[in-house]
């Protein structure tokens, strides 16, 4: 089992270049299944979830090749619309292949997706929306069979919750449907905008991405393109918290402040100085952070749930008490027990966590509970006194390109063992 060993209490300083966004590249890789010609994805991050998406594409008959420029995907030879259960379980994003496959082949067969355990993660909103577009979906022995023998037909879809994945699935299915599809109460995350820009680059007609109303006019065909994946805003948040918790200073080349404004406001309240620079974000911190006003996770542009664990690790050493309210996922506090092993004082009740800042964390043996929870432990380990050993590193590798290299570049004493 892979582990990370961190000798903490070193001030993290320096510059990092941002990786491409995991939550953007995965739906874009699914989108490639919709397109009958070659695509080049630049700034494609080297993540285990990206390899999982490539495995799924390959299993469908597509060709995926990593070159020095990025990831080349050619789905012209796509020959299957069925994804096996072991491949579906590799990650949550496997469900986004549904929209692409039904759009391209008029049918698909999948099982329920895997992914981080953050509480129940149903796909009812995805299925309801695809049914509204005319798909017939039946479930037998855990396999979902979707069919649209007469093709999909654009319609008005009002989402009960602005689900990121469901918005992406609808966008993919609607690209080549007959007529216009309008999504109201759509997710507004920057990754939705990235997906729309990619699809429009391939000839789709999508307007309003980034707003609550997205309109997609069906086109008869899509073509290949070259596209550069947006920078990863959650990785940016991770390195900002890591530098801030050690009183450090960091420049993130390529990071976009507009993608994480709510998060940046929180860090500013804690005492960090943060500036948007010509080519990224600069942060400097000095001494112990101050506790901040309650952090409530919300759909974009609210505070991102993916940065909740990261901010909690940081606030665990703040002067004062910070309240966290997790409004997106039911069970996203699994990092709390691990932070407690390092001396953090955190009480949870339901979706609320009360973090009473301590002066110092102390290194301990801990286990990454999920991707962002694991990253939060890296932040805590960098700030803590003494040695921290983090196991379950495979979960962290789902979303970070060798996190130990990035942290080492900033001056952390961290090794993979």
| 23 touches ligand UD1 (CB under 6 A) | yes
Q: Closest residue to ligand UD1, Cβ-based?
A: 165
Question: Judged by CB, which is closer to ligand UD1: 120, or 287?
Answer: 120
Nearest CA to 345 among 309, 382, 312?
Answer: 312
Strands 249-253 and 226-228: unpaired
For the record, the structure tokens of 94 come out as: 């496997």
| 238 touches ligand UD1 (CB under 6 A) | no
108 tagged catalytic: no
In the complex, least distance from residue 187 CB atom to ligand UD1, rounded to whole angstroms: 6
| 110 touches ligand UD1 (CB under 6 A) | no
Q: How many residues contact ligand UD1, by CB under 6 A?
A: 21
Question: Judged by CB, which is closer to ligand UD1: 122, or 287?
Answer: 122
Q: What 3-state class would DSSP assign to 104?
A: helix
In the complex, least distance from residue 118 CB atom to ligand UD1, rounded to whole angstroms: 7
| 334 touches ligand UD1 (CB under 6 A) | no
- In this chain, which stretch among 35-43, 66-74, 122-130, 316-324 interacts with ligand UD1, using CB under 6 A? 122-130
| 126 touches ligand UD1 (CB under 6 A) | yes
- In this chain, which stretch among 141-149, 158-166, 203-211, 267-275 interacts with ligand UD1, using CB under 6 A? 158-166
| 329 touches ligand UD1 (CB under 6 A) | yes
For the record, the structure tokens of 92 come out as: 């949550």
Query: Using CA atoms, how far apart are residues 75 and 284, in angstroms rounded to an integer?
Result: 45
Q: Which of 116, 146, 202, 241 does the annotation list as catalytic?
A: 116
52: left (phi over 0), alpha (psi -120 to 50) or beta: alpha
In the complex, least distance from residue 234 CB atom to ligand UD1, rounded to whole angstroms: 7
**22-32 vs 97-105: helix axis angle to the nearest 10?**
20
CA distances from 371 to 115, 272, 414 (A): 9, 25, 18
Question: Judged by CB, which is closer to ligand UD1: 104, or 372?
Answer: 372
Query: Using CA atoms, how far apart are residues 153 and 159, in angstroms rounded to an integer?
Result: 17
Nearest CA to 403 among 66, 90, 6?
Answer: 6
Query: What x-and-dash track marks residues 69-108 binding ligand UD1 by CB under 6 A?
Result: -----------------------xx---------------
Q: What 3-state class would DSSP assign to 145?
A: strand
In the complex, least distance from residue 311 CB atom to ligand UD1, rounded to whole angstroms: 14
For the record, the structure tokens of 105 come out as: 């082949």
Nearest CA to 391 among 373, 411, 366, 416?
Answer: 366
- In this chain, which stretch among 1-9, 67-75, 103-111, 121-129 interacts with ligand UD1, using CB under 6 A? 121-129
| 251 touches ligand UD1 (CB under 6 A) | no
Query: Using CA atoms, how far apart are residues 81 and 416, in angstroms rounded to an integer?
Result: 38
Q: How many CB atoms lie within 10 A of CB 332?
A: 26
Within 286-315, the residues that bind ligand UD1 by CB under 6 A are 305-306
Q: What 3-state class would DSSP assign to 368?
A: coil
In the complex, least distance from residue 280 CB atom to ligand UD1, rounded to whole angstroms: 22
Within 160-179, the residues that bind ligand UD1 by CB under 6 A are 161, 163-166
For the record, the structure tokens of 95 come out as: 């469900």
Q: What 3-state class would DSSP assign to 35?
A: coil
**Catalytic positions, written as ranges:** 116
For binding to ligand UD1 (CB under 6 A), which residues are involved? 23, 26, 92-93, 120-126, 161, 163-166, 191, 305-306, 328-329
């Amino acid at each position: 089992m892979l582990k990370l060993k961190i000798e903490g209490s070193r001030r993290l300083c320096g510059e990092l270049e941002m990786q491409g966004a995991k939550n953007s590249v995965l739906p874009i890789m699914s989108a490639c299944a919709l397109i009958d010609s070659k695509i080049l994805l630049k700034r494609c991050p080297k993540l285990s979830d990206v390899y999982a998406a490539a495995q799924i594409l390959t299993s469908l008959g597509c060709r995926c090749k990593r070159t020095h420029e990025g990831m080349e995907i050619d789905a012209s030879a796509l020959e299957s619309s069925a994804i096996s259960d072991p491949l579906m379980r590799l990650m949550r994003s496997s469900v986004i292949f549904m929209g692409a496959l039904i759009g391209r082949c008029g049918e698909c067969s999948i099982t329920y997706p895997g992914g981080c355990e953050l509480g129940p993660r149903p796909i009812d909103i995805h299925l309801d929306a695809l049914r509204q577009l005319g798909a017939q979906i039946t479930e037998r022995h855990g396999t979902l069979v979707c069919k649209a023998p007469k093709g999909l037909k654009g319609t008005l879809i009002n989402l009960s919750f602005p689900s990121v994945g469901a918005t992406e699935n609808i966008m993919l299915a609607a690209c080549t449907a007959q007529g216009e599809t309008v999504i109201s109460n759509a997710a507004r995350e920057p990754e939705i905008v990235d997906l729309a820009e990619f699809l429009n680059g391939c000839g789709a007609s999508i307007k309003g991405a980034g707003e609550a109303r997205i309109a997609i006019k069906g086109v008869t065909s899509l073509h290949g393109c070259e596209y550069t994946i947006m920078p990863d805003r959650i990785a940016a948040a991770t390195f900002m918290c890591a530098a801030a918790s050690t009183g450090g200073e960091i420049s993130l080349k390529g990071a976009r402040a507009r993608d994480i404004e709510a998060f940046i406001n929180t860090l500013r309240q804690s005492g960090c100085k943060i500036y948007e620079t010509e080519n990224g974000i600069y942060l400097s911190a000095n001494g112990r952070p101050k506790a901040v006003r309650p952090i409530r996770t919300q759909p974009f542009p609210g505070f991102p749930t993916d940065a909740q664990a990261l901010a909690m690790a940081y606030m665990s050493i703040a002067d004062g008490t910070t309240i966290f309210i997790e409004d997106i996922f039911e069970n996203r506090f699994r990092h709390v027990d691990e932070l407690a092993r390092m001396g953090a004082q955190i009480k949870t009740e339901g979706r609320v966590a009360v973090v009473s800042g301590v002066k110092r964390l102390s290194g301990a043996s801990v286990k990454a509970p999920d991707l962002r929870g694991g990253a939060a432990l890296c932040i805590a380990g960098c700030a803590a006194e003494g040695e921290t050993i983090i196991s379950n590193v495979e979960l962290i590798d789902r979303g970070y390109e060798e996190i130990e290299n990035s942290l080492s570049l900033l001056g952390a004493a961290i090794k993979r063992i």
